[in-house]
Amino acid sequence: MAENSDRIPRTRIVACGALAREVVETLRLFPEAPLDVTCLPAIWHNTPERIPEGVRAKIRAARAEGVERVLVAYGDCGTGGLLDQVLAEEGASRIEGPHCYAFYAGNDRFAAWAEQDPACFYLTDYLARHFERLIWQGLGLDRFPQLLPDYFGNYTTLVYLSQLDDPALEAGARAAAERLGLTYRHEPVGLGELGGFLAEAARTGASES
């Protein structure tokens, strides 16, 4: 993986900051692949209207540097199709799926879960790790706990989609479920389709170099 190097990578991955750890660690498995990674702030999920133009800026910056291919590690993520419109205009592509929960779990499996039980709230490793800051404080529940039923009253279950086998993260996810008043369920899904997307990007880049 091209990192801290003067060599221009053939491929750049534009990723959500919530995926940064998993993306970087996966691409370390392909040290000779001519690609690198840049991320946008994970907190932009609270303002998804910023994502499309933020991705566009990253794509154009990559092209200005001479990067040939840009791949995007984002789902639609609440942009209402605007991200895909930007990608079509800029000639870039992204991983399939509406959001990271779906491509971590596998799009088909997640769709089946959502149809079977639509009242689930999902955590990934990133969200379990940063639950206090991003969810509890981010939604203002530290200041206005009376809002808890407004935010979570229609949910029944917290589903933790874990990427790592980490007892501390699982304990944190279980505690989050209790704090939100939700039933807890753990689904160890790993990287799911994100792993395949990144591996294919690395293999394709290496074969063309």
pLDDT tens, position by position, 137-148: 999 999 999 999
d(CA 99, CA 79): 10
Total domain count, the chain: 2
- The answer as to whether 5 is a domain residue is no
Q: pLDDT tens digit string along 144-196? A: 999 999 999 999 999 999 999 999 999 999 999 999 999 999 999 999 999 99
CA–CA separation, 178 vs 162, rounded Å?
17
Helices 51-64 and 82-90, axial angle in degrees (round to 10)? 20
Residue 163 domain boundaries:
107-188
Report yes or no on 1 lying in a domain: no
- Cβ pair 14, 71 in contact under 8 A: yes
162 φ, ψ to 5°? -85, 140
Q: Are 66 and 36 in contact (CB under 8 A)?
A: no
196 and 94 inside one domain: yes
Residue 48 is given by DSSP the state: G
Looking at the domain assignment, is residue 20 inside a domain?
yes
- pLDDT in the model for residue 4: 39
The per-residue pLDDT for 209 is 59
89 domain-assigned: yes
Q: Kindly state whether residue 83 falls inside one of the protein's structural domains.
A: yes
Q: Which CATH number goes with the domain that contains 37?
A: 3.40.50.1860
Q: Per residue in 74-132, pLDDT tens? A: 999 999 999 999 999 999 999 999 999 999 999 999 999 999 999 999 999 999 999 99
pTM of the model: 0.90
Query: Are 169 and 197 in a shared domain?
Result: no
